[in-house]
Amino acid sequence: MKKRWVSICLGLWLLCIWSNGLQAATITGRVVEAGKGSVIDDAAIWVEKMGEPMTSGLPTKPAQMKQKNLSFSPSLLPILVGATVEFPNEDTVYHHIYSFSKPKRFDLGLYKPGESRSALFDKTGVVKVFCNIHDFMTATILVLSSPYFATTNEKGNYTIADIPAGTYRLQLWHAGGVQTKEVEIPASGTVHLDLDVSAGK
C-alpha cells in the first residue's frame, strides 16, 4: 500500500512538472525605425520577469563569435551570464582580441588562423570587443541575467520561445540605446509585438 502511494505521489509530481512546462508562450515581432519603417537588423530583445529574479542554470554549451573576412560574426551576441564565448579565427591572418569593458576585461593575445581562444563572462553588462591589429573590427556582447533573448534578422524579425506565463519587462537594445516596455505573457500561444526604434534613443 505504501509503495502504491509513493508511486501515485511521484506520478502527480511528474505531471505537475510536465504541465508547468506547457505553461509557456512565444513572443514574436518586427523592429523598425520609427517614422521611416526601415528595418533594424542589429538589435537584441530580451524579457525579464517583473518583481522576481530570473532563475536559470548555467549555459550548457559555449557561444561563438568568429573572426571571418576581417569582421566579427555575429557582431552582436547576447548570452546568458556564466557563459563561455569562443573566438575562433577563421581568417587567413592573425588576430588579437580584447576588451576593456568593465563587466569583462580580457586579452586573448595574438593567435593565428585556425586557432580558437575563449573567455568566461560572469557579470552582466555590455562588453565591447575589438581587435588590436585591425582597429576597424568591433563587436558587442550583451551579458544578460535572462535566458529569454533573441536578435533581429535581416528583415528585422525576432522570436523568443518558451517563455513562462507572467508579467515581464521587455528590453530592446540597439546601437542608439535601450528601450523598455512591459508585456504580459499568457500561459500558451503567441504574442505579436512590433517595436519602433526612435532615432538617437
Give me the CATH number covering residue 118: 2.60.40.420
**pLDDT score at 175:** 82
**pLDDT score at 180:** 93
Mean per-residue pLDDT pooled into runs of 10, the chain (201 residues): 46 43 84 86 93 65 96 97 97 98 98 98 96 97 95 96 94 89 94 82 44
DSSP classification of residue 189: S
| In a shared domain, residues 83 and 24 | no
Q: Which domain holds residue 99?
A: 59-145
Q: Which residues contact 102 (CB under 8 A, 6 or more apart)?
A: 125
Whole-model pTM: value is 0.84
10 Å CB burial of residue 75 (0-12, 13-18, 19+) is: middle
Give the Cα separation of 146 and 65 in Å (integer).
20
**pLDDT score at 9:** 41
Indicate the number of domains in the chain.
2
Terminal alpha carbon distance of the chain: 66
Among the three residues 145, 161, 188, which one is the final residue of a domain in this structure? Answer: 145
**pLDDT score at 120:** 97
| In a shared domain, residues 135 and 192 | no
| In a shared domain, residues 129 and 185 | no
3-state secondary structure (DSSP) of residue 14: helix
